[in-house]
Amino acid sequence: MVERVTLHILDGDTARRAQLARLAFAAGHHAEIYASADELLTHAPSGGLVLAQDEPVGEGIPLLIASMMRAGHWLPVIAIAETPETGAVVRAIKSGALDYLAMPSQIAPLNDAITRAAKEADAFRAQRARAAEARQRISRLSLREREVLDRLADGCSNKAIARDLDISPRTVEIHRMKMMGKLGARHAAEAVRLRIEASGLDEVAA
């Protein structure tokens, strides 16, 4: 039995929106429909799943997810296309989409995707929230402190960082101490973890 969810259906084509909404209602779900990403973001839904047409193919989903990230929305996205292309699927999944479907004409494929996405939704939102928090902390750093953090994340020692930045090891230690304080990190590994978590949003927003 599939748990009832709210599907936020995003598609610029009226007929496709209606078809997807009919499938959603027939499967026992609630559907909200949007003609554009701007309309979805203005509505700012706080729960459910986004079912979005990938238009332009290979670009629509990454752009949508980047816009959602900037607006602070953490809803999981299922991408759809009339004929999914391998490159488009890869770009959508790398940008954060949980699934990519051919335009469904029956309930079963849609319900299967909803079931998979619903199971991952909580983890998805938690991951994005951690990434946003990490990026917010890193934004407090000075340029030099950020350079030190980036090199720590690359596995560089203080001496290697000093050579790379043309500063003394003692100066590296000072920047590192200030960086740790601003991040609220108890040790270098925690600072590096924050850098890695923040990079998830950096890639989406790029």
- Domain 139-205 fold is Arc Repressor Mutant, subunit A (1.10.10)
Provide the pLDDT for residue 200: 62
Confidence of residue 198 (pLDDT cuts 50, 70, 90): confident
Tokens of 170: 């003692």
Question: pLDDT per residue over 41-57, tens digit each?
Answer: 898 887 888 999 998 88
Q: Tell me the pLDDT tens digit for each residue of 117-133.
A: 777 776 766 777 788 78
| pLDDT(160) > 80 | yes
pLDDT at 2 over 70: no
Residue 176 has pLDDT above 90, yes or no: yes
Q: Does the pLDDT at position 59 exceed 70?
A: yes
Instruction: List C-alpha distances in Å: 63 to 46, 175, 181.
Output: 20, 36, 35
3-state per-residue secondary structure call for 89-102: HHHHHHHCCCEEEE
Per the prediction, the chain carries an average pLDDT of 86
CATH 3.40.50.2300 residue spans of the chain: 6-126
What span, in angstroms and rounded, lies between the C-alpha atoms of 32 and 8? 5
* Strand bridging mode 49-53 / 30-34: unpaired
Return the closest-CA partner of residue 150 out of 188, 116, 105, 104.
Answer: 188
Q: Which CATH architecture has domain 6-126?
A: 3-Layer(aba) Sandwich (3.40)
CATH 1.10.10.10 range(s) for the chain read 139-205
Give the pLDDT band (50/70/90) at residue 203.
very low
Three-state SS at 35: coil
